[in-house]
Structure 1
Amino acid sequence: MFDEHRTPGGVLGGFIGLVIVSAMAGVLVTAGIAPVLAVTGMAATNTITVFENLPDYVAIDQLAQKSNIYATEANGTKVLLASFYDQNRVEVPFDSMSQYVKDAAVAGEDPRFFEHSGVDLQGTVRATVKTAAGGQTQGGSSITQQYVKNVLVQKCEAIADARKHDACYFAATETTPERKLKEMRLAIGVEKRYSKNEILRQYLNITGFGGTVYGIEAAANYYYGTTAAKVTLPQAASLVAIVNNPVKFQLDYPTGASNGTANGYAANRERRDYILTEMYKQDKITRAAYTEAVATPVEPKITEPSTGCQSAGSSAYFCDYVTKKLLNDPVFGEDAEERRLKFRRGGYNVFSTLDLDLQRAAITAMNKNIPKVFARGDVGGVISSVQVGTGRVLAMVQNKDYSQDPAVQAKGRNYTGINYNTDYTEGGSSGFQPGSTYKVFTLAEWLKEGHTLNERSDTRRKSNWGTFRDSCLGPQNYDSQGFNPRNDQNESGSNYSALQATIGSINTGFIGMAKKLDLCGIRKTAESFGVHRANGKPLDQGASSVIGTNEIAPLTMAVAFAGIANRGTTCSPVAIDRVVGVDGTEIPVPKTTCKRSLDPKLIAGMTYAMQRVMTNGTAQQSYADTSPRVPMIGKTGTTDGAKDTWMSGATTKVATVVGVVAVTGTLNQRQFSFDSGYAATARHRMWPAVMSVANAKYGGGSFPEASGSVIGKVEAPKPKPTPKPAIPKPAAPKPDATPSKPKPEAPPAEPEPATPPVEKPKPDQNGRGKNPKGG
């Protein structure tokens, strides 16, 4: 520990701090600052007045530090996902700095630091004389003065407005007597309020070490892969050497930067050896230590800091989602720039909701089943899991490598910065058609409007569906619009009940159900479960939307299925559990908002049907391959031409949505395979892999029993009409009979289903379009 006692010589050397209140202030201050002003011609009397009227104090404020995002293991261990910063700094206490670092700083930058009271008069005179004599510009600033200058610059860096920032920076760094006077006055004030050790600690934490590296801890990490407490003597001197001229002496370039801005290891070594010599002269190191240190070559071990979501690997897209929350949510600041500064400079420790067990299962399932690059087209794979009842996002994975760098993205289709799982504002995706997974909202409206599961509808395939009720937009007629959706497996769909249509995912069954419902009501029911289009536009509510033609983010569908599993209470997604400031203070975070979406009695009818989908319907493969098995609900989806395939489901604890999608263009998943198997069934290989881990970890309870009034009586299928006997061809009319009109020729059969004429969406990054076919 340094001796903070000031000698009589130190008192004399630090006289400026004492004479402010002295009767001899005019004489002494003029003597002290005259060398600085000699070349300017400023009058001494004016100088004294200016000096005494300057502010005399600058606070040791919180420094800008990097923020970290963590996930938590089941045993409570925190796992760093990524760090973010404008200035790479980790502030450390005084006893976490090597004595070599402290001695090197004093020896190299301010040998009389422990003797003066903020301003080193001798150093100032020497520097001014050399500058006035035409030599190189000399600083002559004490460590305290350098600290003051850094504080003033840091205050400027916190200003969001570019014009105000630049003006502030100029005022803090301009080479003028007035600025030097202010720096002196503030340095004296700092010395009155803080101990020498505290000033040295903050100086070593605040000062720049080249590029975005600030503070001795980050410098030790970056240049030598160690800590400030563990640096060796030559390393400490080499790091402190950088402080004198960060551009000239930084250690990123062995032989100097190609643009000539850095001189490489040789320049750093020259400055390092000067510092070692001064340390030896001041008896801070032995001769043996000095000799060994100067003989040591400059050999940095550049350790790039883990920065940005790309360092989060396969969890990068979840990391990106968390950053969007930090940058977009008003909880973290009134405007975007304030939120950015707080996040990039505030030293946040962000503890996310990510469940690493589920995340690893999702990563493994994705890597095993969906290639990053596929020769036949741009295929995307997505997995989102949400905790039921809390909205906590537990897993988020896609099959691409993450990068926000256009140059990296250009290297291949395996890179993208777009998060396929989230809304456009939270990652850049415009969403995907969910296909028949969207049918659950028509089922909800069906029960809400008083129909039962066993009630039947006219579900025949036809091109004259007639008029649909719409309480928002008015009646919608589909007689002459070519609206003729078919079923995924070409089922006849003649007379299905709502339960049968759900179990078998019958398109015409749900169109028939919608014919008895309010189209606007279906849309509103979907919205009550948190469903919205990924691009922010209103949900379409036409007849085709019933079978899943709105573009929706997978995470949104996971939230909706969690709402169904939560007895009809839907909770908005959250990705952050806690944020702790650098001082240990808890910072408020966005909370989930839970709302009632549907009466629990009606939800019981939905889950009754959706459990049958798992055990007897289109999701049997996912059900069979999940172990351990608890009660589960689900719904499959296949868009037209098997371009996108989905498996969405939940237990009473966790909801998961898995999808394989065409990112751009059109691919029929029933016409090719991946290495893992048939492309169209990859969803049924991934969903059980994730949910098996979820079931083992979280378990799952029974869904509520559906009442008889919701299930309804089993209705017998309507018999097919008995064909009428053939009518004999009438004889030729008598001459006075009216000739019969010829029967019009039947129209040609429609080749394939067509959508109603709706506005075609503009092409987006996912190449989505409308299509009425879903499976």
Structure 2
Amino acid sequence: MSLSRAPKVLGSLIGFVGLSAVAGLLVGLVFVPSLAVAGEGVVTGVDTFNSLPSYLQIEQPAQASAVYAKQGGKDVKIASFYVQNRTDVASNQIAEVVKQSTIDTEDPRFYKEGAIDVQGTIRGALATGLGHNVQGGSSITQQYVKNVLVQRCAQQGSSQGTTKEALAAADKCYSQVTATTPARKLREMRYAIGIEKRYSKDDILRGYLNIVGFGGTVYGVQAASEYYFGVPARSLSIVQAATLTAIINNPANLRIDRPTNADNGAKNHYALTLTRRNYVLKRMAVAKDITERQYLHYASLPIQPKITPQSNGCSAAVAYDAAYFCSYVQQSVLTDPAFGSTSQARVQKLTEGGLKIYTTLNLDLQRTSQAALSAYMPTTVPGLSLGAANVAVEPGTGRIVTMVQNTTFDETSTAAAGATSVNYNTDHAYGNSQGFQTGSSFKPFTLAAWLEAGHTLNETVSTTQHKLPFSEFTDTCSGLGNDVWDVSNADPAPASMSVMAATAESVNTAFADMGTKLDLCGIADSAFGMGIHPAEGTKATNFHIVPSMILGTNYISPLTMATAYAGIANHGVVCTPIAIDRIIGAGGKAIAPTKTSCTQGMPSDVAAGLAYALQPVLKAGGTGALANPGDGIPTLAKTGTTDAAVQNWLVTSTTKIAQATWVGNVQGSAGFYRTYVNGVYGYNLKFLMDKTILQALDQAYGGDPFPLPPASMIGAVKPKPVKTVPGGAGVPTTGPGTTVGGTGTGPGNGNGNGNGNNKGGAPAKP
């Protein structure tokens, strides 16, 4: 031996003696001071070891969060969110064969000795002391400690964000807790002793099986069982349990979800894992947990994974037609302070907090609504960019029970035609939609301002004026300028008519005349009181208070419209929409999401007046008669159509359920008076969809009669005038290529509401 090597060997022997002595000391085998390695040097042993921290805070490891919806009255998981696919389970939810195979292989003396595997530690100390890397020999308790420390690094890293500094700190933390040094081993041993003073062996084994990695983003025995074999941990067979125990040894190389892997894939029957699995089975036979005959039989069986991917995010909800609703739930959590004071904290809570999120979604009604909508609006229409969406909300609770649209959910940047992540039903903040012009479905808010100002439903208004100077309007919010508003009707109208009749027939010029008798700011306030707001931006910047707003020129989401109509049906009390009923945290403790907020948006008698005026819309002669579900349940409703029927709406509510349907252009300006989709007249699409949807909602919810408004609000009924006048600019004549009842071919008003209320007559033959 050269002199240059002698000091190194001597140092190694001293280190070996120190480690061996400390290991013996920890289990009561040695009671005298000796040398021990602490930090990176050699110091006096027992006192130094005892001075190491022994208390290790066991924090909840990162767990997948799950989103649930109701189907047939039962909770069904529709999506998961995670950075580590892990679901903690109780000990009685883990098959005994998993516990046996893990103990037999990883720590046969687990139940017979303390926190430290003495024999393994001595073996590891010998190898380390002779100059090799730190060897195995860790007890299950020590392995649990190491996994807890690694998990702590990961969670600290995610809580600090993705900055360069945060990532560097996480890497440093990981390097420290996984370093192959005697110092790290001693710290683990000291922590392990502290752990066993506070937890039972069963608790430690359960904790270990819930935290340990199984390859990729799969952590914990429950997620591993579901992923690799499609069964819960309690249902694992002996062979499956042995396979998972084998993977623990080297998850990166022994995972069985890469069939094309040359070293460990389907072609060689997962040779590396098979060898380790059979070793596990042999250890079980040695421990008498299986017989020798069973060992020989099980060892002869091939590895047969049944990979069951656990989708991360809302893509899994596509199978339930619920991906867009799931996306809304996700955004609700990420913007709700109940889940953290910062956006990073909320992301961490969703992806690591093990939340069980029970939503308001009714999958049975969702399926019906999706089928009804998709039957008339496919994902794509050649040459056009069309869309359709429907959402239903409960009055009085704000609970969203359905949310569907015609496209396929796709969050990738390479989404094909007919696929998108944009949620047409929601505001921009919750789904990147800018909303759509609402047409005459906005008229109820003008009617509300009309009634609040002391006017009546049977008061007569003029329909003859088609050019209205801005000077005829009052706007106490801001100046209007000197423009002229051009207004036209889809159908001929009498020279004057009651407001009640004008509402049922949706006569634009009648509502324009009403607007001249009101403050435009008052109309806007009536809408704002019921929760109306622009889908993107603020009311101050993106809600335009101009005369044409009376006919729905602002861009609003279907969810907002359904919520407002639900408020009308709820005696004027509007409740903010919610998608989450309750949340259970990983520890079983309830977490309260932000609840619905209900406010009196309009006087109850005004709401009763609106309900009274809007019920004829679905009846014979009303603009929405084609959508009448025929079940006799009282329903308030309003249709909405913009210039040339570019955007089309039907919004309804009973006392129990409200819904909004939009059909129109996502991009472009194809007029639905001249558009057919799969042979169906475009203007009628919303009615045909809604008839089925309304029937299903009414069957599920029913409905009560609306209260009558005060007689003074209805007013005296006057005889109907018989004289009619032309519909004004934009009223078509019957002829080739036109449609009786309006084509929108006449000049518009420059603001999205020319012939905005066609009742959908049958197309004339060419």
Q: Which amino acid aligns with 1:774?
A: G
* Unpaired stretches in structure 1, ≥5 consecutive residues: 1-11, 722-749, 757-769
Q: Which amino acid aligns with 2:701?
A: Y
Q: Which residue number in structure 2 is paired with residue 331 of structure 1?
A: 338
Say whether residues 1:152 and 2:149 are aligned partners: yes
Separation of aligned partners in 2, 1:224 and 1:524: 59
The secondary structure found in structure 2 opposite 1:682 is helix
Deviations 1:63-92 (A, max 9, x none): 332222222245x32222222222212222
Q: Which residue number in structure 1 is paired with residue 490 of structure 2?
A: 488
Q: Which residue number in structure 2 is paired with residue 595 of structure 1?
A: 599
Q: Which residue number in structure 1 is paired with residue 237 of structure 2?
A: 232
Say whether residues 1:126 and 2:130 are aligned partners: no
The secondary structure found in structure 2 opposite 1:144 is helix
CA RMSD of aligned residues (A): 2.9
Q: Which residue number in structure 2 is paired with residue 506 of structure 1?
A: 507
- Whether the 8 Å contact between 2:624 and 2:639 is mirrored in structure 1 is no
The secondary structure found in structure 1 opposite 2:632 is coil
Say whether residues 1:438 and 2:445 are aligned partners: no
- Whether the 8 Å contact between 1:493 and 1:508 is mirrored in structure 2 is no
Segment drifting more, 287-296 vs 574-583: 574-583
CA deviation after TM superposition for structure 1 residue 711, in Å: 1.9
Q: Which amino acid aligns with 1:672?
A: T
Q: Which amino acid aligns with 1:273?
A: N
Q: Which residue number in structure 2 is paired with residue 628 of structure 1?
A: 631
Q: 1:419 aligns with which of 423, 445, 450?
A: 423
Q: 1:369 aligns with which of 352, 372, 376?
A: 376
Q: 1:178 aligns with which of 172, 177, 183?
A: 183
Q: Which residue number in structure 1 is paired with residue 306 of structure 2?
A: 301
CA deviation after TM superposition for structure 1 residue 17, in Å: 3.3
- Whether the 8 Å contact between 1:390 and 1:592 is mirrored in structure 2 is yes
Listed as ranges, the matches of 1:188-587 within 5 Å are: 188-256=193-261, 265-313=270-318, 314-407=321-414, 409=415, 412-478=416-482, 481-489=483-491, 491=492, 494-538=495-539, 539-587=543-591
CA deviation after TM superposition for structure 1 residue 660, in Å: 0.8
Say whether residues 1:161 and 2:168 are aligned partners: no
Separation of aligned partners in 2, 1:496 and 1:476: 28
Q: Which residue number in structure 2 is paired with residue 646 of structure 1?
A: 649
TM-score by length of 2: 0.86
The secondary structure found in structure 1 opposite 2:176 is helix
Q: Which residue number in structure 2 is paired with residue 56 of structure 1?
A: 54
- Whether the 8 Å contact between 1:482 and 1:754 is mirrored in structure 2 is no
Q: Which residue number in structure 1 is paired with residue 677 of structure 2?
A: 674
- Whether the 8 Å contact between 1:72 and 1:79 is mirrored in structure 2 is yes
* Unpaired stretches in structure 2, ≥5 consecutive residues: 1-20, 725-744, 758-766
CA deviation after TM superposition for structure 1 residue 514, in Å: 0.9
The secondary structure found in structure 1 opposite 2:705 is coil
Deviations 1:154-200 (A, max 9, x none): 22232210415444333322333332221111011112222222211
- Whether the 8 Å contact between 1:16 and 1:119 is mirrored in structure 2 is no
Structure 1 moving runs of 4+ over 6 Å: 257-260, 716-721
Alpha-carbon spacing, 1:652–1:51, altered in 2? closer, same or farther (3 Å): same
Alpha-carbon spacing, 1:676–1:86, altered in 2? closer, same or farther (3 Å): farther
CA deviation after TM superposition for structure 1 residue 532, in Å: 0.4
Deviations 1:432-473 (A, max 9, x none): 111110011111111111112222334324334241444543
Separation of aligned partners in 2, 1:575 and 1:166: 38
- When Rg is computed on C-alpha atoms for both structures, the one with the higher figure is 1
Alpha-carbon spacing, 1:222–1:336, altered in 2? closer, same or farther (3 Å): same
Q: Which amino acid aligns with 1:568?
A: G
Segment drifting more, 117-126 vs 381-390: 117-126
Identity over aligned residues, as a percent?
40
- Whether the 8 Å contact between 1:13 and 1:116 is mirrored in structure 2 is no
- Whether the 8 Å contact between 1:248 and 1:264 is mirrored in structure 2 is no
Deviations 1:7-56 (A, max 9, x none): xxxxx997443569x9x4533xx3xx55x99xx6x2232x5554222211
Q: Which residue number in structure 1 is paired with residue 738 of structure 2?
A: none
Alpha-carbon spacing, 1:278–1:620, altered in 2? closer, same or farther (3 Å): closer
- Whether the 8 Å contact between 2:617 and 2:625 is mirrored in structure 1 is no
Q: Which residue number in structure 2 is paired with residue 44 of structure 1?
A: 43
Separation of aligned partners in 1, 2:362 and 2:472: 45
Separation of aligned partners in 1, 2:137 and 2:407: 54
CA deviation after TM superposition for structure 1 residue 428, in Å: 1.5
Q: 2:665 aligns with which of 662, 665, 682?
A: 662
- Whether the 8 Å contact between 1:548 and 1:774 is mirrored in structure 2 is no
Deviations 1:401-460 (A, max 9, x none): 1121224x1xx2221111110111111111111111001111111111111222233432
Separation of aligned partners in 2, 1:181 and 1:175: 11
Separation of aligned partners in 2, 1:586 and 1:569: 28
Deviations 1:71-121 (A, max 9, x none): 2245x3222222222221222222333333222212322233334422223
Alpha-carbon spacing, 1:681–1:16, altered in 2? closer, same or farther (3 Å): farther
**Count of matched residue positions in the alignment of Structure 1 and Structure 2:** 704
Say whether residues 1:752 and 2:747 are aligned partners: yes
Separation of aligned partners in 2, 1:263 and 1:130: 33
Alpha-carbon spacing, 1:493–1:705, altered in 2? closer, same or farther (3 Å): same
Separation of aligned partners in 2, 1:527 and 1:772: 24
Listed as ranges, the matches of 1:100-139 within 5 Å are: 100-130=97-127, 138-139=135-136
Listed as ranges, the matches of 1:85-100 within 5 Å are: 85-100=82-97
The secondary structure found in structure 2 opposite 1:670 is coil
Alpha-carbon spacing, 1:221–1:665, altered in 2? closer, same or farther (3 Å): same
CA deviation after TM superposition for structure 1 residue 663, in Å: 1.0
- Whether the 8 Å contact between 2:329 and 2:579 is mirrored in structure 1 is yes
Separation of aligned partners in 2, 1:420 and 1:143: 52
TM-score by length of 1: 0.85
- Whether the 8 Å contact between 1:88 and 1:218 is mirrored in structure 2 is yes
Alpha-carbon spacing, 1:264–1:183, altered in 2? closer, same or farther (3 Å): farther
